[in-house]
Chains A and B, each alone.
Chain A
Amino acid sequence: MSVLLAAVVGGLFAIGTFLILRRDLVKVVLGVAVLTQGANVYLITMGGIEPGSFDTVPVLATHGDYVPDTADPLVQALVLTAIVISFGTTALALALTYRAYQENETMDVHQWR
């Protein structure tokens, strides 16, 4: 597996974790978003990555018998679900952030204990 790919995924996880550990609630939400991107790319690498071609796209050309070796469709289905769910959770987290600020009048996570 490519070192660059691994480094970028690792970097996304590290930066996401660092942001979640901040006191500013917006940064925490941003951290979750970065982690999500990292996790999605991670999942895709589990299916194997090769240079794209006509055959590797998991959309079959014909209804015929010939099925080429496509990129792993299962991880793509998983990631598609993950993208949509993460959209829902990010929107909810932002709404919660907004309400939390209205209630507490601070963005500091540490003052909410």
Chain B
Amino acid sequence: MAPDLSVITVAVALPFVAAAATPLLHRALGERTGFAGAVVALASFGLLLTQVGERGAVSFVWVPSLDVAARFYVDGWALLFALLASGIGALVFAYSRSYMHGDEHLARYYATLLAFMGSILGVALAADLVLVFLFWELTSVASFVLIGHHTDSDASRYSARMAMVVTVGGGLCLLAGLLVLAVAADPALGERTFDLSAMIASADAMEAALRERGLFVPALALFGVAAGAKSAQVPLHFWLPNAMVAPTPVSAFLHSATMVKVGIYFVGRLRPLLLSPEWTYLFATVGLLTMTVGAVLAVAATDVKQLLAYSTASHLGLMVAAFGFENAYGAEAGSFHLLSHAAFKAALFLVAGIVAHEAGTRHIDSLSGLWRDLPVTAAIAGVTALSMAGIPPFSGFYSKELLFEAAYELAHYDGGLTWVFPVTAVIASVFTVVYSLRFLSIFLGDRPADADPVHRAPALLVAPPAVLALVTAVVSVSPGVAVDAIVQSAVDATAVGDAELHVGLPDHVSPPVVMSAISIGVGAAAYGVGDRLRAGIGAATDRDPLGANWWYDRLLNGAEAASARVSPLIHDGSLRTYVSWSVTAAAALALLGYAATVAGLPPVGRTVPPTMALVLAVAGVAAVSVMVAPSHVAEVLTLSILGFMVAIFYILASAPDLALTQLVVETLVLLIFLLVIEQLPAFYGDIPRGVLARDAAVSLFVGVTVFLTVLLAGREATAEPTAVARYYATEAVPQGGGTNVVNVILVDFRGFDTLGEIVVIAVAAISVLVLIIMRNRGETQ
């Protein structure tokens, strides 16, 4: 059964409408706007829930001739992501009601959060490449506003700009990649289209077309950068920990469950289209590298949110790596972990928010024994952190098991260097266990004697993470429920061929079970020497060139310094500088364009008729005289000769209307010039030799460029008339009722253009009038 277009459209549009209405809502509801947001999110969630099980594309055609349409594609993968975004969205809105209490900019906060949620739903459901790009960038913009929520804090502005630069930079790569796909769709699908669902439907033809044009690897690299920037993959991971300056609900929503998953989502979406050995090497390598680097840095983190941020990067790496593997386990691990990670990580962030809110600090070393004061929160943290660590029987264990299976399978078949994959996965999992236990340690043990008293958390703060912990617990206890409900259909959408997802506790010893046992055992042992481990990691990573932050700062400062040096050179307020740069650049670009597309100079055509040659020669001489004339009057008179010669040229070129207009205009221009220059003094500055040489060089360059382009682009008289010229000539009488084709074009076919032209003349006339008459009147009074 096909999905319902109206339901999908309403689900995506509702958050945007609500975002637009938020200022009004906020005026009416005040801080309770958070509940309104939760209602909107729940409405979208409910609407999407009715579509579970559907699969297919629906579209709303806008400009059919240009193939512009709002297309939506619904399948398990899209719905899983969209349901997570709206479901967690509802919880985050409810949490914000209490957490953001007393904030000054609540209207902006809720409006952006709503718009962000709508964009995520858009990315998840859009099947049109243009629409995908639009929503993708909207998430970056919304994230920028939310990270920079505290506009008066330097750290906040710095981090917001960093996230913007990295993710929007990745978005540009996405745009380039999408255009490559659209180009390849031309031979593969028989038409140039932006329809992603059609491309995925004929994946083999698309891949063949891409490879034939040598565009496969570039497209893969572009999507890799785009997804890597969005999903914080090494070496573009550094914006994510910085983004933790945002309010905690934002971190929980954007930077654990939704925005950073956009890259993952898109990797999963493109997986059936681009799966190949290159795909595996790119994504499995980057993913496992990120998984390890993120886990190691999380172990060394000192701040609760920072730990969770690095851990998020690490888990995103897990999902990217999973989708990188070509076998069915890869798609299963990625899809299953999308669900389990979203649930436990959002809960952990909300827990971190509660801890910061009630204990007044996020510093790990000064927190311990919180279970006495925050028992429910501690229980939530227990379930979710153990799931994060991948301890059986919690949900994270199943996805890790599937990843080990996928990595082992690949290494088992390919052998050789591919054994690096499973080994790296185990190493990363060891560190995952260490930092998960470290996170739990803030709840265990005794309160430090000198600590401030901890308040009990309000129910409204505890309920949302409790719901997520409940989800985690259900997925942990009976993963089959989640699989049957939606994960299996997500796997179907991302896997190639048949993939039957089975998750559950292992009943016999297999290589992945051994790998899990190693990582848990070594991880628990390594936690015992945690302090030395942290000191070692700190010492090893405490070098500037190792930090991606350092490179980012250098790049940005370098760009700022360079533009500060360059800008006075190209715009210094002098007309000559502006003209020189712009005409030289325009001419150079034109030449480049021709150099790239034209093979050689065409044979020189017939010469012009002798009369025309004579007229043109006189026009050329007149132009030279304008340049060298000794006085303004001589300049104007020679300019007039040039104009009249051009008028005669129009007559010879079969354009009587132009000649008539030119004669009238030239006469008028001559009169106006003579009237004006009578009032002006002659100005004869000496021209320094260097300036003269430079100006002559610029002018000659422009002249030569124009000369070449006329030779290359000018139409031969013997060529057939263009279709549009022929159209106007033949349709002038039937449609316009006039025999003068030029006049019919001006007043009939392109009547609005002529209206615009008349407006321009009228505006110019009024301006002249104001400049000459009214200004004088004002001065004399």
Where the two chains meet, the residues of A that have a C-beta atom closer than 8 Å to any C-beta of B are 1-15, 17-28, 30, 33-34, 37-38, 40-42, 44-53, 56-63, 67, 69-74, 76-77, 79-81, 83-92, 94-99, 101, 106-110, 113
Closest to B608 in A: A2
Q: Which residues of B contact A53 (CB under 8 A)?
A: 654
Tell me whether A15 and B745 are in contact (CB under 8 A).
no
- B716 CB within 8 Å of chain A: yes
B residues 622-642 in Cβ contact with A at 8 Å: 623-624, 626-627, 632, 635-636, 639, 642
Tell me whether A70 and B741 are in contact (CB under 8 A).
yes
- B702 CB within 8 Å of chain A: yes
Closest to A25 in B: B683
With A and B bound together, what is the CA distance between A53 and B654 in angstroms? Answer: 7
Per-residue CB contact flags for chain B residues 721-743 toward chain A (1 = under 8 Å, else 0) read: 11011001110110000011110
Q: Which residues of A contact B626 (CB under 8 A)?
A: 15, 19, 30, 34
- B655 CB within 8 Å of chain A: yes
Q: A41-B649, A48-B716 are in contact. Are A79 and B757 (CB under 8 A)?
A: no
Q: A58-B729, A81-B754, A87-B669 are in contact. Are A108 and B574 (CB under 8 A)?
A: no
Shortest Cβ distance from residue A63 to the other chain B in the assembled complex, whole angstroms: 5
Closest to A38 in B: B706
With A and B bound together, what is the CA distance between A74 and B727 in angstroms? Answer: 10
A21 in complex: contacting residue of B642, B680, B699, B714, CB < 8 Å: B699
Shortest Cβ distance from residue A112 to the other chain B in the assembled complex, whole angstroms: 8
B654 in complex: contacting residue of A12, A46, A56, CB < 8 Å: A56
Shortest Cβ distance from residue B625 to the other chain A in the assembled complex, whole angstroms: 10
Tell me whether A80 and B703 are in contact (CB under 8 A).
no
- B186 CB within 8 Å of chain A: no
Q: Which residues of A contact B574 (CB under 8 A)?
A: 109-110, 113
Q: A8-B616, A83-B658 are in contact. Are A109 and B607 (CB under 8 A)?
A: no
Q: Which residues of B contact A76 (CB under 8 A)?
A: 655, 657-658, 742
Shortest Cβ distance from residue B53 to the other chain A in the assembled complex, whole angstroms: 56
What are 16 A-B pairs at a CB distance below 8 A? A1-B605, A1-B711, A21-B698, A34-B626, A48-B718, A52-B651, A58-B655, A63-B733, A79-B658, A80-B742, A83-B665, A95-B767, A98-B679, A101-B681, A106-B683, A107-B681
With A and B bound together, what is the CA distance between A63 and B577 in angstroms? Answer: 55
Known: A73-B732, A97-B676. 9 other contacts (CB 8 A): A6-B706, A11-B620, A57-B655, A59-B741, A60-B729, A81-B757, A99-B771, A109-B574, A110-B574
Closest to A96 in B: B771
Tell me whether A81 and B746 are in contact (CB under 8 A).
yes
With A and B bound together, what is the CA distance between A70 and B718 in angstroms? Answer: 12
Q: A10-B710, A84-B661, A84-B757 are in contact. Are A59 and B715 (CB under 8 A)?
A: no
User: Of B38-46, B423-431, B758-766, which binds chain A?
Assistant: B758-766
Tell me whether B575 and A88 are in contact (CB under 8 A).
no
Q: A10-B706, A72-B722 are in contact. Are A44 and B650 (CB under 8 A)?
A: yes
Tell me whether A49 and B771 are in contact (CB under 8 A).
no
Tell me whether B714 and A15 are in contact (CB under 8 A).
no
B665 in complex: contacting residue of A8, A22, A84, CB < 8 Å: A84
- B576 CB within 8 Å of chain A: yes
Q: Which residues of B contact A109 (CB under 8 A)?
A: 574-576
With A and B bound together, what is the CA distance between A60 and B635 in angstroms? Answer: 40
Where the two chains meet, the residues of B that have a C-beta atom closer than 8 Å to any C-beta of A are 572-576, 579-580, 583, 602, 604-609, 612-613, 616-617, 619-620, 623-624, 626-627, 632, 635-636, 639, 642-643, 646, 649-658, 661-662, 665, 668-669, 672-673, 676-677, 679-685, 687, 695-696, 698-700, 702-708, 710-711, 713-719, 721-722, 724-725, 728-730, 732-733, 739-742, 745-746, 750, 753-754, 757, 760-761, 764-765, 767-768, 771-772, 775
| Max chain B Cβ within 10 angstroms of own Cβ: one of A18, A60, A73 | A73
Closest to A58 in B: B741
Tell me whether A71 and B654 are in contact (CB under 8 A).
yes
Closest to A99 in B: B771
Closest to B768 in A: A95
Q: A30-B639, A37-B643, A92-B768 are in contact. Are A97 and B680 (CB under 8 A)?
A: yes
Tell me whether B771 and A95 are in contact (CB under 8 A).
yes
Tell me whether A4 and B716 are in contact (CB under 8 A).
no
Shortest Cβ distance from residue A21 to the other chain B in the assembled complex, whole angstroms: 4
Tell me whether B685 and A48 are in contact (CB under 8 A).
no
B632 in complex: contacting residue of A6, A26, A59, A87, CB < 8 Å: A26
Q: Which residues of A contact B679 (CB under 8 A)?
A: 98, 101
Closest to B691 in A: A21
A73 in complex: contacting residue of B683, B719, B745, B754, CB < 8 Å: B745
Q: Which 10 A-B pairs have the closest CB atoms?
A: A14-B703, A10-B707, A50-B717, A1-B714, A88-B764, A48-B715, A107-B683, A6-B710, A18-B699, A73-B741
With A and B bound together, what is the CA distance between A53 and B24 in angstroms? Answer: 71
Q: Which residues of B contact A58 (CB under 8 A)?
A: 654-655, 729, 740-742
Closest to A98 in B: B676
Q: Which residues of B contact A87 (CB under 8 A)?
A: 665, 668-669, 761
Tell me whether A4 and B575 are in contact (CB under 8 A).
no
Closest to B642 in A: A37
Q: Which residues of B contact A34 (CB under 8 A)?
A: 623, 626, 639, 642
Tell me whether B772 and A99 are in contact (CB under 8 A).
yes
Tell me whether A11 and B761 are in contact (CB under 8 A).
no
Q: Which residues of A contact B682 (CB under 8 A)?
A: 24
Shortest Cβ distance from residue B714 to the other chain A in the assembled complex, whole angstroms: 4
With A and B bound together, what is the CA distance between A6 and B707 in angstroms? Answer: 5
Tell me whether A9 and B710 are in contact (CB under 8 A).
yes
Closest to A54 in B: B654
Q: A6-B711, A33-B639 are in contact. Are A80 and B746 (CB under 8 A)?
A: yes
Tell me whether A74 and B725 are in contact (CB under 8 A).
yes
Q: Which residues of A contact B681 (CB under 8 A)?
A: 101, 107
Shortest Cβ distance from residue B366 to the other chain A in the assembled complex, whole angstroms: 60
Q: Which residues of B contact A60 (CB under 8 A)?
A: 729, 732-733, 739-741
